[in-house]
Structure 1
């Protein structure tokens, strides 16, 4: 297998990991004002992701860094053409991080909770918009420069993609809260999962039906539909762990559908002659070889450390686990 193909697959894996892990972080933030009806309950909601949310964001940094190193032309075109949406995502992530860290230091956490909500909702929606545009294709000139506007990116297909990721991440977050909380808070989270899953299946199916254009992508899209249906069955049977595994599988299948549809392009243009592919956007073979050795050595260490973190903080969180002022701490 050529190294360009290897790194295309590795970048897909990094985005899949990011969306699985940050997906429930986004969902928790979106559901905070809905499920947390008291100060103590909202503190418990935030505490469920307290030890892991910043580690989950590392997947985004690595995905961006890998894209820059392996496919610099793709990185340059993407970040110049999608500057405003990506800047909005960056600002939202900063606001969310500040809100998580400072809500426990304020006499009133309401303002920080609103910041946490919007800092979760906007990325959950805009990531879908961005990836839908990447798959659909954008106007590029012969020099691979983006020639559209912000309104070009806000097309119906991209907005449908944004709704799909928003629904999927919100549902994933509700499942995570059901898995990590107890008592009435868990009961509300379960009810939220039951209410959200049917809508998520409908929106997700609509998006995948108009996205998948190859047999392999059809298989992954069907896998996503089966996984979401399995999640609905699992939550009706009260199996929190299986429900979380099913929504995780659905996110993985959605990412697989996007990247399988994209291949062998990395940034398709409306004029196919101007598209960026894994070949014309890649770094030199020497650079890819060095990167491969570095990834082979350090990736297992990072995965082992993050898995250990989740194992340490695997227990359910309740109001008895600490005061509201310490909600953001492990």
Structure 2
């Protein structure tokens, strides 16, 4: 396999990893976003946490793998993006940690105030992380304030002088600190944050409708009907702008059309109370949203909003010819095993849950103490 083929392959594989993360962690975030205002009592909150109990920590592995694959396959992409997005990613990391602690610590003390405070932290963390992920992806579509500077002098190289020769002794840089953080916030990227909030909220409501029974399920169904319409409208506006203003690759139209059809299907399925089909439709929409995003980027890993000459391409960002073949062999060997395990775990924990599974005195206990 040629080096160019492997560069394209790993660009696609990273997109696949992000798609897996959005689909699987998306409903975890959605359930967390709903934790403080959908349930009527502590037992229903416990039921919501039990619904994601067997899966949430495993779903986070998709994020770690996506980050690790980017670091190994495209080190300059990783270095440039993580330095420019440093503050935003730091905030995401903090809220992800708080979310984990909230799930694990909420039942360590048998006290209503203690439990409710951690549930609030869980909910706020889920909303903040979801919004910031959308902002980050929208920046990949829109482009970032990135330029090329010469090593040593660290002065910006004029766009007209950018060649393969100058790139060999230069680096791509983005503004850091608070100025860099606020440069990531534009009307379009804020719209991107609203898209992920709508998609994940819908995903979480549908998942609860799929996994629970009783009054909580009925409220989740009612919410999913409204959220699916909002998701269709907001995501539709975002996707059309992405393709018409920032895209142009023919693959982006496939992503846009399939995602749009899937979201229409979600609206129809939720109103017909076919939560299984609704969940599949929302997952398909998330997958093809990633197709749209990465197609607007290709062949760039990062686009510059200053000048296209400053774009960081996958060819310039990738690892050596010796690294990518080894990574490919490892991925082809281990990924099928991981996917088989994930499929097995979801099959084992496929049954619906009710509040009858949760005794009153155990409503605040950690998930590990309760049967799922």
- 1:209-224 map, 5 Å: 209-212=240-243, 213-214=247-248, 215-224=250-259
- 1:251-262 map, 5 Å: 251-262=286-297
Deviation digits for residues 87-138 of structure 1, max 9, x if unmatched?
A: 1110000000011111122312100100110111111100010111122111
Deviation digits for residues 66-99 of structure 1, max 9, x if unmatched?
A: 0000000000001000001101110000000011
Q: How far apart in 2 are the matches of 1:198 and 1:163?
A: 13
- Secondary structure in structure 2 of the residue aligned to 1:289: helix
- 1:5-16 map, 5 Å: 5-16=8-19
- Secondary structure in structure 1 of the residue aligned to 2:52: coil
TM-score (norm 1): 0.98
- Secondary structure in structure 2 of the residue aligned to 1:144: strand
Deviation digits for residues 185-237 of structure 1, max 9, x if unmatched?
A: 00000000011111111110110011012222122112111111101111111
Match of 2:206 among 168, 175, 178: 175
Match of 1:120 among 126, 129, 141: 126
Instruction: Name the counterpart of 1:93.
Output: 96
Structure 2 contact 47–354 (Cα < 8 Å) conserved:
yes
Structure 1 contact 44–327 (Cα < 8 Å) conserved:
no
Note if 1:283 corresponds to 2:319: yes
Instruction: Name the counterpart of 1:304.
Output: 340
Mark the structure with the bigger radius of gyration.
2
Q: How far apart in 1 are the matches of 2:308 and 2:118?
A: 46
Structure 1 contact 180–316 (Cα < 8 Å) conserved:
yes
Match of 2:116 among 103, 106, 110: 110
Return 116-125 or 64-73, whichever deviates more.
116-125
Deviation at 1:272, TM superposition (A): 1.4
Instruction: Name the counterpart of 2:156.
Output: none
TM-score (norm 2): 0.87
- 1:150-161 map, 5 Å: 150-161=181-192
Query: Once superposed, what is the RMSD of the aligned Cα atoms?
Result: 1.1
Match of 1:247 among 278, 282, 287: 282
- Secondary structure in structure 1 of the residue aligned to 2:36: helix
Instruction: Name the counterpart of 2:363.
Output: 324
Instruction: Name the counterpart of 1:65.
Output: 68
- Secondary structure in structure 2 of the residue aligned to 1:279: helix
Structure 1 contact 197–228 (Cα < 8 Å) conserved:
yes
Q: Structure 1: which 4+ aligned runs deviate by more than 6 Å?
A: none
Instruction: Name the counterpart of 2:166.
Output: none
Q: How far apart in 2 are the matches of 1:197 and 1:30?
A: 15
- 1:26-45 map, 5 Å: 26-45=29-48
Please, which runs of 5 or more residues in structure 1 have no aligned partner?
Answer: none
Note if 1:54 corresponds to 2:57: yes
Match of 1:133 among 135, 139, 164: 139
